[in-house]
Amino acid sequence: MLISLHKQVALVTGGSSGIGAASAIALAQAGAAVVVNYRSGREAAQRLVEEIRSAGGEAIAVGADVSSEKEVEALFAETVSAFGRLDILLANSGMQRDAPTVDMSLEDWNQVLQVNLTGQFLCVRAALRQFRQQEIREAVSRAAGKIIQMSSVHQLIPWAGRANYAASKGGLDLLMRSVAQEVGEQRIRVNAIAPGAIRTAINREATEGEAAKSLLELIPYGRIGDAEDIANAVVWLASDAADYVHGTTLFIDGGMSLYPEFRDNG
């Protein structure tokens, strides 16, 4: 099976680092023109764009805060003005502000919800509004548009000390499935990916040194994931090879959500 995203345009939010950056590269390798959105990593986003271009791909970098309605609208407008349309949204931006609930500030609660959940809503809504204006190009893709939302195993597994993050990802699950139920008949596919432990900036402390050893006890497959493990699935989910996949969360976690602590207990 050959996966091709030629003649398609992909927008990756939070695309300047980690899973977003690996996905931007993989989408470009599959033939898509890619918009790399960044919040703070302007130089990293520009380097990524150069890397994609020097490999023969098409890409631009666009700054925007996904929790700002105005900036999200400008981001989508710039995407369409650069490449004429949008076929794939990878809503990937996310953040953590950890604290025990008893000590968590309202600001830390609000900020995480605004980026991880409201930001996803704003990007999904903007993508749906764009898809609505486009014709389906059967020769390119059977779908009018594809949305992939980056969730986490913590949409399922509770996470002490990170109630804001877990609540945002739990909310994402029902956001994704409700939107999928709503727009399926328009041939818009909506899915999510729930990564387990992937080595990136968001979890550097937990994935290095001694901490990595205890983390491995939670991963039956016995290794910490790489951003490319997720990027490969992004390309597949965005392609017509996954055309009948709709309203699903794909857990990519080396088995973390199998609750391996119960192997010898419970």
- By annotation, the residues acting in catalysis are 165
Q: Is 67 in the site for ligand NAD (CB under 6 A)?
A: yes
> Residue 264, class by beta-carbon neighbours within 10 Å (0-12 exposed, 13-18 middle, 19+ buried)?
exposed
State how far the Cα of 72 lies from the Cα of 37, in Å rounded to an integer: 10
In the chain, at which residue ranges do the beta strands (DSSP E only) sit? Answer: 9-12, 33-38, 59-63, 88-91, 145-150, 188-195, 249-252
Q: Is 195 in the site for ligand NAD (CB under 6 A)?
A: yes
Q: Which is nearer to ligand NAD, 53 or 204 (CB)?
A: 204
Strand 33-38 versus strand 59-63 pairing type? parallel
> Residue 115, class by beta-carbon neighbours within 10 Å (0-12 exposed, 13-18 middle, 19+ buried)?
buried
Q: Is 254 in the site for ligand NAD (CB under 6 A)?
A: no
Select the residue interacting with ligand NAD from 5, 11, 13, 176 (CB under 6 A).
13
Q: Which is nearer to ligand NAD, 41 or 145 (CB)?
A: 41
Q: Is 40 in the site for ligand NAD (CB under 6 A)?
A: yes
* Nearest alpha carbon to residue 86 among 26, 13, 152: 13
Q: Is 176 in the site for ligand NAD (CB under 6 A)?
A: no
For the segment 75-114, give every residue that binds ligand NAD (CB under 6 A).
Answer: 92-95
Shortest distance, position 4 Cβ to ligand NAD, whole Å: 25
Residues in contact with ligand NAD by the rule CB under 6 A = 13-14, 16-20, 39-41, 65-67, 92-95, 115, 119, 150, 152, 195, 197-198, 200-203
